[in-house]
Amino acid sequence: MKEQFNILLVEADKILSKVYSEALGANGYEVRVASSAQKAINLIDEFKPHIIILEPQLSNHSGVEFLYELRSYKDLQDIPVIILSNIPKIEFSTSLDMLFSKLKVKKYLEKDNSSIRDLVDSLKELN
Amino acid sequence: MLELNKTKYLDSNSILSYRLFLSLTEQFKSSLVKISKTVESSMITGIDNSSLIKNESDYMIELIRAYNFGVHLTLNGNELDIEAVSISSILYKTAQNLRKIAINYGVNVDLNFSGKHNLVLSNSEGLEASLMSLGIALIEALPGHNNNKLNIHLATHRCRYGIVAGIYIEDEFLTNDTLKKGRNLYGKVRQPLTNLSHSASAGVFIADNILSSLNLKLKTSHHKKLYGLGVVLSPISQLELIK
């Protein structure tokens, strides 16, 4: 039997979270959505995601705050994170290195510049 | 150097309208990304999401309509029709229009007022456009809040200064201070109202622009146990005889 692969999608936009979930579900992934950083933290223990897909642009607490919180727990330090964002990579400028090194982000995809297929390919790379 | 000189001669109104335009384009980019991903997802899954595309297009149309209205107001402010306006009927009509957009976001739109309120002297089209614009900004933002109550309330009540018409939700998301900061930041940053929304919140600033062209001011407001944004309108006291 094929092992279930859990993905936590942290995305505030209702429509995007719906269509990404459907597309990833069709590719065999089990997807749960958290629309805020707080909801994501609450969901992690119960859902035990293998990979987190994160939009840093969230209400209240940003995705970067979420990453700091996530990495502060010993047992969550190695969950791979893919950033999938409306924010162009270039806007992170100097803090981009920090995202990859300190916060262990594996991949940065820009929503307007990458397809769902690119996201699925990135997930396969990290499987 | 030439660019610097151009900037030097822009007056503050032009700079504000450029900022509003940037906020609108950021919002549009986000909507177009949603449409593009919805189509791509449908091609993968075979699920018909055409209603999502239609509603997102309607969202964009309403926003551009309100933006254009605000620009026309700024350009031709003196030609504005001022009339006796019934707030209740404007809220009712706006709620009907917002419900069409809210459905895809899983948000309920309620009307929350009781009793008769006086007519106010204003421009009905302007009030409607600003409330619509504000409403769609809240509809988009609400699912991203920690609170799971996905309701927005269009409400009116009397206050010391007149009649307040506004849009409210069940958690406190803005203070006057954060709204003030947002006014300074929109068009310059991607998320000027971080406590309200993950997006550019263009709808809030378009509403703000329309209301200020009507010599009105968008403010944070409370309605019963709800929090929101509203505008204070002056009742026409001489029409109180007509009941």
Do A60 and B195 make contact, defined as CB atoms within 8 angstroms? yes
What is the dihedral sign for C-alpha A108, A110, A111, A115? negative
- Give the nearest chain B residue to A41 (CA atoms): B146
Residue A31: pLDDT band by 50, 70, 90 thresholds? Answer: very high
> Tell me, what's the pLDDT at A3?
76
User: Residue B27's closest chain A neighbor by CA?
Assistant: A86
What is the C-alpha radius of gyration for chain B, rounded to an integer number of angstroms? Answer: 19
State whether B37 and A116 contact (CB < 8 Å): yes
Q: Which residue has the higher pLDDT, B76 or A9?
A: A9
The mean per-residue pLDDT over the stretch B54-81 comes to 86
User: Which residues does chain A have within 8 Å of residue B195's beta carbon, measured at their own beta carbons?
Assistant: 59-60
Region of residue B201 (left: phi > 0; alpha: psi -120 to 50; beta: else):
left
ipTM of the complex: 0.93
d(CA B151, CA B146): 13
Nearest CA in chain B to A56: B198
| Band (B50; pLDDT cuts 50, 70, 90) | very high
Residue at A49: amino acid letter: P
- The pTM for the full model equals 0.89
